[in-house]
């Protein structure tokens, strides 16, 4: 094997890894341009025709933002990651029940604040629900609960 054949064989072996690496490097260096291009194309794209298939895209009325506070009827998410949820209870009888949060917390539940009555025991808490123990109470219960977390 001569030097010419060696260079040809090495070029054949290395051309794809070098090409892919160069493509990834150029994509990374120009990522700002690509994201604005894709965003502008997606805003202008209203319908897509592929053969006999026609797809009409609906316009989104509002897109959630990570840089703005999100307010909903049952919860509010702040830009610093804090989530405040409000739940209202009207329990006809004493019970122990698993209650589901309006939205799940991402990291942890920080506090429970009872409004309208003394705090009730909370037996178990996780990111999506909690177990409320109201078995020691007499009669019906009506109260609000504010839960904060991240």
In sequence order, the 6+-apart residues with CB closer than 8 A to the CB of 38 are none
Look at residue 58 and tell me whether its pLDDT is greater than 70: no
Q: Which domains does the chain have, with CATH numbers?
A: 3-56 (no CATH), 70-149 (2.60.40.3940)
Do the Cβ atoms of 135 and 122 come closer than 8 Å? no
End-to-end alpha carbon distance in the chain? 65
Give the model's pLDDT for residue 148: 92
Look at residue 137 and tell me whether its pLDDT is greater than 70: yes
In this predicted model, what pLDDT tens digit does every residue of 96-124 receive, in sequence order? Answer: 888 888 888 888 999 998 888 888 889 99
Cα–Cα dist 143/117, whole Å: 6
In this predicted model, what pLDDT tens digit does every residue of 72-95 receive, in sequence order? Answer: 677 888 888 889 988 888 878 878
Give the model's pLDDT for residue 125: 92
Q: How many helices (H) and strands (E) does the chain have?
A: 2, 10
Give the model's pLDDT for residue 68: 63
Give the model's pLDDT for residue 65: 56
């Amino acid at each position: 094997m001569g030097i010419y054949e060696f260079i040809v064989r090495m070029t054949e072996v290395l051309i794809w890894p070098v090409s892919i690496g160069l493509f990834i490097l150029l994509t990374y260096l120009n990522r700002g341009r690509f994201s604005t291009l894709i965003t502008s194309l997606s805003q202008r794209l209203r319908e897509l025709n592929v053969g006999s298939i026609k797809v009409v895209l609906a316009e989104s009325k509002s897109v959630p933002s990570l840089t703005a506070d999100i307010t909903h009827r049952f919860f509010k998410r702040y830009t610093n990651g804090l989530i405040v949820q409000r739940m209202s209870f009207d329990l006809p009888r004493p019970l122990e029940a698993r209650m589901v949060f309006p939205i799940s917390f991402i990291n942890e539940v920080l506090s429970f604040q009872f409004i309208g009555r003394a705090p009730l025991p909370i037996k178990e808490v996780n990111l999506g629900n909690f177990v409320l123990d109201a078995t020691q109470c007499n009669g019906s219960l009506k109260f609000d609960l504010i839960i904060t977390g991240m």
